[in-house]
Amino acid sequence: MEESMAALGTLNWTMVRAILAILQWWGFNVTVIIMNKWIFQKLDFKFPLTVSCVHFICSSIGAYIVIKVLKMKPLIEVEQEDKWRRIFPMSFVFCINIVLGNVSLRYIPVSFMQTIKSFTPATTVILQWLVWRKYFEWRIWASLVPIVGGILLTSITELSFNMFGFCAALFGCLATSTKTILAESLLHGYKFDSINTVYYMAPFATMILAIPALLLEGGGVINWFYTHEDIFSSMMIIFGSGVTAFCLNFSIFYVIHSTTAVTFNVAGNLKVAVAVLVSWMIFRNPISAMNAIGCAITLIGCTFYGYVRHLLSQQASSGNPSTPKTPRTPRGLMEMLPLVSGDKQEKV
């Protein structure tokens, strides 16, 4: 009797821990997105490169404090040659991915941007099939149909459509897919968690983006400082978004170790729905009924895709030779600051 009660208590704590992990992950993710949109729309700080640079700086400092000062995570040592030969190219793609996400957020509503970002599984499968000649089962291709259909319906019926923002979000999906695919070869042999990923890549990303941000947006930022009324509170929001972006990485590390792969997949797609709902409540961007249906179809497709991948992965691990192991793909969305692979036990 005592053993069963102890087992029940352990099960309850595991469930509570998973729920808390998911809720704090949702909280940080939605907060980052809403803060960035608020910066672009309400503060009139229309400089996505500068905002991205602030995020990289905050993440670099945060990762250093967590690993070197607080020693909450052990540092994964990387050889000096590998920092430039492996980490730097990954940091370049990582930088492009984040910048394109912020550029799209500058021009299109959160709901539309988040829906397009859900297209990442399709871009990953297509890239691996075209460029790397990877084999995929028919079930993988079938699971992409509702994703593609939902994206098309959402794009056609979007009331606040902007071609530049749409293209930025779409190319952001390609950057996310490229980043995760390249990680399999460039980071082979290194088992990075999300904090170590940020520790190594954020400084490189800052170095890569600093000069373009200064040249392209420096004059506009200076002019904004002279014309904007409440500088102090605005700067608090801008740097607060950077700190929250780093906290998002820490929350991903926590949720990965507190949930199963299936739970992570479902929670990730529900998180998109939460972000869309919260953003609509704050910014009141117009959403038509067909647009909402398209978004729902896309999220259902992403959930189905994740389930199919998990099912095939389970079959492959059970030793069924007839089932090819599908290459891993990103879980998508703004939590993508770290490199997150397809299977929970294979987190990079």
The pLDDT of residue 2 is 54
The pLDDT of residue 145 is 93
What span, in angstroms and rounded, lies between the C-alpha atoms of 316 and 311? Answer: 9
Global pTM reads 0.83
Q: On the CB side of 339, how many CA atoms lie within 13 Å of its CA? A: 33
Write the burial class of residue 78 (CB in 10 Å: 0-12 exposed, 13-18 middle, 19+ buried): middle
Q: What letters, b where the CB count within 10 A reaches 16 and e where it falls short, cover 149-158?
A: ebbebbbebb
Tens of pLDDT along the chain (348 residues)? 555 555 555 657 778 888 888 899 999 999 999 999 999 999 999 999 999 999 999 999 999 999 999 998 899 998 888 899 989 999 999 999 999 999 999 999 999 999 999 898 899 899 889 888 888 888 899 989 999 999 999 999 998 999 999 999 999 999 988 888 887 777 777 778 888 889 999 999 999 999 999 999 999 999 999 999 889 999 999 999 999 999 988 788 778 777 777 777 788 888 888 998 999 999 988 888 999 999 999 999 998 898 888 888 888 776 554 444 444 444 433 333 333 333 333 333
* DSSP characters over 41-90: HTS----HHHHHHHHHHHHHHHHHIIIIIS--S------HHHIIIIIHHH
The pLDDT of residue 11 is 58
* N-to-C CA span, the chain: 41
The pLDDT of residue 267 is 84
Tokens representing 5 are 């009660």
What span, in angstroms and rounded, lies between the C-alpha atoms of 313 and 301? Answer: 18
